[in-house]
Structure formats: C-alpha cells, structure tokens
Amino acid sequence: MRFKTWCRMFLGSSLMFFLVCVSVAQRLVLISSTQDRHISDWTNISSDGSRVGGSMRITSLNQSYPFVWSEREGFRYLTPQGGYTQNPNEAITGRVWGMSGSGVVVGSSGNLAFRWKSGQGVQYLSPPPGAPSAWAYSASWDGSIAVGSSTIGALIWDTNRTPRVIVQGTARGVSADGRVVVGGLLGDAGSGMFRWTEETGLQRLAWGGSARATSADGSVIVGNGLVSEGSGAIRWTAETGAHLIAPSHLGGWGRAVSANGRVVVGEVHIGPQRAFRWTESGGFELLGETYRSILPSGVRLHQASGVSGNGRYIVGSADTRDGTKYYLLDTVPEPSGLLALGLGLGLLWKQRKQIGLSTKK
C-alpha cells in the first residue's frame, strides 16, 4: 500500500511539474526598433541561448554598430578592446553576420571583415590580393577560424588572419572545429550547396541555392537547393543525402541548425512568409501554429533565422500591427527532457502495475 501511495504521489507531482513547464516556461520576447535605433540584423544566438548578436543602425550617427543583446543586459555595443558599452561612440562600427556558439562575433566594417571576442577585442581581416573587400559570415567555436566571402570567392581566415580562397562562391557556415566549411557555389561551376574540407576538397550537395549552416561536427548541413523532390528548404547528411524538410510547394530556406543537427529552423512561403521548425522526431511544423497560445494578437512569426546549439531558443523576425519586431522564443521544455520524463513515468507506471498484480496473487 505504501508503494502504491508513493507512486500516486510521484506521478501526480511529476504530471503537475510537466504541465507547469509547458504552460509557464514557453514564452516569446518581442523587441522593437525605435525611430533613431533600427535593428538591421537579428540572426545569431549563442549555444546556450543567453546572447543574441546583431547590428543596430543609428540614424542620428549615420552608422551601423554590432551589438550583443541579452535579457539581463539589454543592447550592448562592442568596444575595440573586447568589452561592452551602451555608448555607440565608444564602439566599433559595422554589421554582424555571424556568431559562434561561444559568442565570438564576425561581420564586416567598411571594406574589411572582422572577428570580435570578449576580453580580446576586434581583429580586422583583410581581403585576399585582387579583392577590394571581404565579409565574414561564420566562425569556429573559439573564433580561431573565420569564413566568408570576397568578390573573387569563398574565404577562410586562419589564426594569423591570412585569407585563402577555397572555391568560387560564398562560405556561410563552419563546423565548431573549423574543418568543415559550407556555403553556395557561383561562377563557372554553377550554383549550388557545397561542403568543403581540406582533406576531401569540394563536394556539391544540391543544385541551386546555398548552404547556410552546419551542425557542430559538420555532419548535418542546411540551406536551400534543388533535389528530385523539388526545390526548397534542404537538410543534408552523408547517410540520407540532400532532401526537403518542408513541403515542396512551400519552397523556403533552412537558415540554422542545432549543434547536434536534430533541429532546423527557417522560413517557407504560405501566402505571407512563415517561420518553421523541423525536428528529427517530429518533422515539419509552423512555429506560429505550434506556439499559437503564447503569441500576442496580431503577431505572425515570418522568419526563424537562428537557433541555439541546444535547440531550445529560436530567434527571428515577426510581423505585428506596429510593424516588424524581433523575437526570442523559448521553446521549453526541451524534447529530450520530455522524452526522459515520459519514459521514466512509463516505467514507473509499469512497475507499479506489476507489483499490484503480484500483491493480488
């Protein structure tokens, strides 16, 4: 009897905990531009979801400034020495195009690419000989390797800031260790998603479009391309090849992927553009439908541009009655946590029934 009573209490409290997690923790944070300060980029998020990287256009100063935003600190601009400031006059200028999982920021300032690391400061990255300018779009976890593009091809910069052209095209993403580079081909080779490593060289993954991001180990790549099923949002692995993860008639892009490759976010076209999420366990879903209960009236999530490494947090832009706003979506509870809880409760329920049967005998 005592075991039965304990089981009922545990199951009841666990169910209550589960319901509280779902109803309370899932939330949407909306951020607005102001008349003088306009958010121009809100696409990058750290691995744990605590920081969002982007760019702010300050009209009165006629400049764009890289920023890091968090719920606790708000908007903070980046200083040349590796610190943060709320005074743009003390900050570096430019646009943010990427952020590594550890928070290393990369982008462009004038004709130069740059990478910025907290506590170390900014490093400007020159274009290769013969190219007038360069842009950095992504960085390895520790920021030692940066990738991007110039007018003559896709680039990789090493720790010495030496630029090297690897293919004709644009490098959009890089693995955590800096060994796998992904992006889009251009020029004589035609367009298409590509994967590149020093050991294997260039590998075309799909025609048309471009790869936009890769998992931490470089084994899962997402973007847009043309495959036998049609064209649209693509996910590639060595085992499955390139395949659509959204209905073919919706087109769209896979913009970002979690560290383990199991969560992809992006946008599709259903009349107005809509943000989506694809998961290995649940497949394709529209974020606006899945999280309808926490969306304020008149808000439509039209793009998902970034996902945290753990797959929990999603950032993007939304259409509202007051114009475009930017969001941070907390999708708690995490799928893995729910699965573990469900399995645990199931096993406990089975054990309870078995003990009950043996007691009756």
Percent of the chain at pLDDT exceeding 70: 85
What value does the mean pLDDT take over residues 155-163? 94
Distance, in Å, from the CA atom of 159 to the CA atom of 180, rounded to the nearest integer, reads 16
Segment 22-33, tens digit of pLDDT: 444 799 999 999
Asked if 255 and 306 touch (Cβ cutoff 8 Å), the reply is yes
What are the DSSP calls for 57-105, one per residue? EEGGGTEEEEEEEETTTEEEEEPTTS-EES-GGGS--SEEEEE-TT--E
Q: Mean pLDDT throughout 61-72?
A: 96
What is the pLDDT, as a whole number, of residue 351? 47
User: Does pLDDT of 228 surpass 80?
Assistant: yes
All structural domains of the chain, each given as residue ranges with its CATH number in brackets, are 27-334 (2.130.10.10)
Position 21 pLDDT exceeds 50? no
Quick one: pLDDT at residue 188? 72
pLDDT of residue 360: 47
> How confident is the model over 102-125, as a mean pLDDT?
97
Residue 323 has pLDDT above 70, yes or no: yes
Range scoring the smallest mean pLDDT among 45-49, 140-144, 184-188, 328-332: 184-188
Could you identify the residue written with the tokens 């209550």?
16
pTM: 0.85
Average pLDDT value for residue range 166-184: 97
Averaged pLDDT for residues 283-298: 97
Per-residue pLDDT tens digits for 232-263: 999 999 999 999 999 999 999 999 999 999 99
Which carries the bigger pLDDT value, residue 219 or residue 5? 219
Give the mean pLDDT of the chain.
88
- Residue 49 binned pLDDT confidence (cut-offs 50, 70, 90): very high
> Among candidates 336, 339, 299, 354, which has minimal Cα distance to 321?
299
pLDDT class of 18 with cuts at 50, 70, 90: very low
By the 8 A CB rule, do 148 and 134 touch?
A: yes
Is the predicted pLDDT of residue 98 greater than 60, yes or no? Answer: yes
Question: Token pair for residue 135?
Answer: 């842009």
- Whether 342 has a pLDDT exceeding 90, the answer reads no
Whether residue 6 is predicted with pLDDT greater than 70 in this model: the reply is no
**Residue 28 to residue 298: CA distance in whole angstroms:** 14
What would the mean pLDDT of 166-188 be, rounded to a whole number? 95
Coil vs helix vs strand at 140? coil
123 pLDDT exceeds 90? yes
> Residue 197 pairs with which residues in a beta bridge?
201
| pLDDT band, very low/low/confident/very high, at 2 (cuts 50, 70, 90) | low
Residue 340 has pLDDT above 70, yes or no: no
SS (H, E, C) 291-313: CHHHCCCCCEEEEEEEECCCCCE
**Overall average pLDDT of the 74-102 stretch:** 97
At 355, which helix (H) or strand (E)?
helix 335-360
- Output the CA–CA distances (angstroms, integers) from residue 22 to 186, 275, 330, in the order listed: 45, 21, 11
Do residues 276 and 285 touch, judged by C-beta distance below 8 A?
yes
pLDDT above 90 (res 214): yes
